Structure 1
Amino acid sequence: MYIQHLDLRDFRSWPELKITLSPGVTVFVGRNGYGKTNIVEAVGYLAHLSSHRVSTDAPMVRSGMKDARVSATVVNHGRELTAHLLLKPHAANLAQLNRTRLQSPRELLGVLRTVLFAPEDLALVRGEPAERRRYVDDIMCIRHPRLAGVRADYEKVLRQRNALLKTAGRALRSGYESADGAAALSTLDVWDQQLSHLGAQLIAARIALLGELAPAIHAAYAAIAPESRTASVEYQSKVDLCALGVAEEETLMNTPSAEAASPDVIEALMLSELGALRNKEIDRGVSLAGPHRDDIVLRLGQDPAKGFASHGETWSFALSLRLAEFELLKRDAGSDPVLILDDVFAELDAKRREKLVHLAAGAEQVLITAAVDEDLPGNLGEKVVHRFVVGVEDQDGQRISRIEEQESEQ
């Protein structure tokens, strides 16, 4: 899989950008703040319908503009598809595939598959559970686009349930002794059922995905840091999953096998958990159980990587997560996802650079950003097909996002 054409309008700092690409390695070189990361962010957004840098769409629309457009022609096994996405910060985004208007942008998922390495990946190991949930959910939705709808529906129900818990606390505490209390409790029962039904699908899908990712993560980490401890991943849920047949030695990780993780059974367990937590939830005004509260625990040996891993081990684990993602998506599609390396070489030591260069050598298309050429490994030069210099200053010293292709040194 590779991107043949990329076209941006009013995306971040780019009033307009049109570039033609081909398989192989493309390098974008430019000082920080001139727009090179904005280019690969647009590619990643088209693949995942989200940014690796921000959680909302508004920052991606150029200042003063009402919307932004990202378009890319993707070639996969000789077949060309052109995906268009219109980002509207104050309205629903619009999507088109070739000349067909899509009912939802989620229908674009899977047209372009990317794996991105960035300095922000350290948050996968050091950061909050939301970072790790997003890592798993993004892969899950790319592989099974239907689950993107389930995730969106779950988040909508969660917001509505939390709003009820916050605004109707007094009525809920009064119980069935008052008409208001009875109505509020009846509504909460409905939200409980919907939250459990949707949440169970997400939990089951996450467990199944981790069952596939875990061996690849273990192998990737062993290859990058053979002298370090064994790497493993564990799904840790606020819903008691022990009833799903967790083996005795697995009790600590609270992770059943993928075969045992039936959505129907998880739904019943989640309903039971919500019932047990109801009084606490009413007092606190927030939902305390469900996939939005779960974590993917990363371990080195018996210790959690968060708080116990060194800087080098943290980078190795973050790279292992992305390498496992790359291998899984490659296996699914029978072709390489587009590999994006955003300002990472300057952060890595020689050993980890070598691992990434080895991966880049075998990938069908690689997009790399770097502040200066010296940040790039020396043995990468012979593989570069395109080299773009990004960013200039006008006569007043103002930064301008502009791009100029230069001949690559072979």
Structure 2
Amino acid sequence: MFVRALSLRDFRSWDSLRIDLTPGCTVFIGPNGHGKTNILESVGYLSTLSSHRVSSDAPMIRTGRSQAFASATVVNSGRELSIDLEFNDGKSNRGRINQSPTRRPREILGILQTVMFAPEDLSLVRGDPGDRRRFLDELLCTRLPRMAAVRADYDKVLRQRSALLKTAGGALRRGSRSEDGASALATLDVWDGHLATHGAQLLAGRLGLVHELAPFVSDAYRSLAPASRPARIRYRSSLAASLPPEYLDPARRPEPDDHVFLREKFVDELEAMRSKEIERGVCLVGPHRDDLELELGDTPAKGFASHGESWSFALSLRLGAFSLLRSDGTDPVLLLDDVFAELDRFRRQALAKVAVDAEQVLITAAVPEDVPEELHATRFTVEAHDTEAGRVSRITATSDATKEIPGDE
């Protein structure tokens, strides 16, 4: 799989960009803040419908504009598809496949598969559980695009149920028997069923993913840090008290009807936690409370891993995801955002070895020396210029006859 062409309009610092890409390595070189990361971010967004840098879509739209556009032509096993995203300020985004509008942007998921490694990935080891849940869900939706709808439905039900818990809890604390409080309590059973249905599917998907991902992560870490303690990943569920201990073992192969069993346990746990949830006004059970545990030897990586071990584990998670997607039969596009400068010589060589073997790699670097010579990459220079409309990025090809990429004006 590779991106043959990329087009941006009013995306981040780019007023307009049209660039043809080829298989192999492509490097975008330029100082920090000049727009090179925005290129990789657009490709990653077209793949996952999220940014690796921010949680909202507003920054995707160039300052002073109300819309932004990103599109890519993707070639996979000889088949060519174009995908487009329209970002709208204050309104829903819109997607297109081969110029035909989709009902929802998430319908483009799966057409372009990417794995991105960026300095922000250190949060996968040192950050909050939400960072690791997001890592799992993005990979899960990349492999199984239908899970994006399950995840969206779960989030929608979670918001509704949380609002009901707050209403019921507020009435309880006031000692009142308001109609709103009584109505909230009466409808909680219905929402419990919805939350359990969608949550069980999401949990089953995550457990299956961790089962397949775990050996790839362990192997990647061993190659990056052969002298270090062995690395392992394990899923921690808020349903753990209701599940058999072996159920969360990464070595356990998931069964097709796991979601049925998990739904039953989900409902049981919700009933057991009902009074605590009403008292606190929050949902205490579900995938939104879970975590991906990272272990080095017998200790958790978070809080105990050294700086080098943390970088190795973060990189292992991404390389593990890359290997897993490859095992599915598709070579995803590898996106490396200014990471070689963060790695020591040994880890740079290990990452370069993977990059050389990938069908397409897009890399950003501040200076040419940051990119290993063995990558033999096509190079572009990215610069930013201040204009009346703000800072605007420009790109030029680096070759014997340097030329500006058409369409930047």
Q: TM-score scaled to structure 1, two decimals?
A: 0.92
Alpha carbons of structure 1 residues 49 and 22: separation in structure 2 relative to 1, 3 Å? same
Contact preservation (8 Å) 2:171, 2:177: no
3-state SS of 1:169 partner: helix
Alignment match, 2:58:
58
Residue 371 of structure 1: CA displacement? 0.7
What is the distance in 2 between the residues matched to 1:255 and 1:402? Answer: 49
3-state SS of 1:27 partner: strand
3-state SS of 2:226 partner: coil
1:365 matched to 2:357? The reply is: no
Alignment match, 1:402:
394
Alignment match, 1:246:
245
Letter in 2 for 1:354: Q
Contact preservation (8 Å) 2:2, 2:75: yes
Alignment match, 1:336:
331
3-state SS of 2:16 partner: strand
1:293 to 284, 289, 296: 289
Residue 246 of structure 1: CA displacement? 3.1
What is the distance in 2 between the residues matched to 1:408 and 1:336? Answer: 31
What is the distance in 2 between the residues matched to 1:93 and 1:158? Answer: 22
Contact preservation (8 Å) 1:237, 1:254: no
What is the distance in 2 between the residues matched to 1:76 and 1:338? Answer: 11
Question: Comparing 145-154 with 177-186, which one deviates more in the overlay?
Answer: 177-186
Alignment match, 1:93:
93
Alignment match, 2:379:
387
1:310 to 302, 306, 309: 306
Letter in 1 for 2:157: V
Letter in 1 for 2:232: S
Residue 181 of structure 1: CA displacement? 4.4
Q: What is the aligned-residue identity percentage?
A: 56
- Deviations 1:348-404 (CA, angstroms, capped at 9, x unpaired): 000100011101111111100001112222333xx21x21110144599x7431111
3-state SS of 1:258 partner: coil
- Deviations 1:3-46 (CA, angstroms, capped at 9, x unpaired): 11100011011111110111111110001111000000000000
Contact preservation (8 Å) 2:72, 2:82: yes
What is the distance in 2 between the residues matched to 1:189 and 1:175? Answer: 22
- Deviations 1:309-344 (CA, angstroms, capped at 9, x unpaired): 111111111111111111111121x23111111000
Contact preservation (8 Å) 1:241, 1:266: no
Alignment match, 1:222:
222
Alignment match, 2:407:
none
What is the distance in 2 between the residues matched to 1:255 and 1:181? Answer: 45
What is the distance in 1 between the residues matched to 2:348 and 2:211? Answer: 28
Alignment match, 1:258:
254
Contact preservation (8 Å) 1:246, 1:254: no
Residue 168 of structure 1: CA displacement? 3.2
1:376 matched to 2:371? The reply is: yes
What is the distance in 2 between the residues matched to 1:272 and 1:217? Answer: 33
Alpha carbons of structure 1 residues 166 and 256: separation in structure 2 relative to 1, 3 Å? farther
Letter in 2 for 1:346: A
Residue 97 of structure 1: CA displacement? 0.6
Alpha carbons of structure 1 residues 189 and 403: separation in structure 2 relative to 1, 3 Å? same
What is the distance in 2 between the residues matched to 1:273 and 1:254? Answer: 22
Letter in 1 for 2:139: I
3-state SS of 2:282 partner: coil
Alignment match, 2:213:
213
Residue 171 of structure 1: CA displacement? 3.7
Alpha carbons of structure 1 residues 104 and 180: separation in structure 2 relative to 1, 3 Å? closer
What is the distance in 1 between the residues matched to 2:260 and 2:33? Answer: 49
1:9 matched to 2:9? The reply is: yes
3-state SS of 1:168 partner: helix
- Deviations 1:225-254 (CA, angstroms, capped at 9, x unpaired): 1111111111111113653x433xx88x69
3-state SS of 1:321 partner: helix
Letter in 2 for 1:38: N
What is the distance in 2 between the residues matched to 1:214 and 1:167? Answer: 41
Letter in 2 for 1:70: A
Alignment match, 1:144:
144
TM superposition outliers: structure 1 runs of 4+ over 4 Å:
172-181, 253-257
What is the distance in 2 between the residues matched to 1:408 and 1:374? Answer: 19
Contact preservation (8 Å) 1:25, 1:367: yes
Alignment match, 1:284:
280
Contact preservation (8 Å) 2:13, 2:391: no
Contact preservation (8 Å) 1:241, 1:256: no
Alignment match, 1:236:
236
Letter in 2 for 1:246: P
Alignment match, 2:119:
119
Letter in 2 for 1:310: S
Contact preservation (8 Å) 1:336, 1:363: yes
Question: Comparing 29-38 with 234-243, which one deviates more in the overlay?
Answer: 234-243
Contact preservation (8 Å) 2:385, 2:394: no
1:190 matched to 2:190? The reply is: yes
What is the distance in 1 between the residues matched to 2:169 and 2:354? Answer: 54
Contact preservation (8 Å) 2:334, 2:358: yes
Considering only aligned residues, what root-mean-square deviation do their CA atoms show, in Å? Answer: 2.3
3-state SS of 1:275 partner: helix
Q: TM-score scaled to structure 2, two decimals?
A: 0.93
3-state SS of 1:282 partner: helix
Unmatched segments (≥5 aa) in structure 1 = none
Alpha carbons of structure 1 residues 178 and 97: separation in structure 2 relative to 1, 3 Å? closer
3-state SS of 2:228 partner: coil
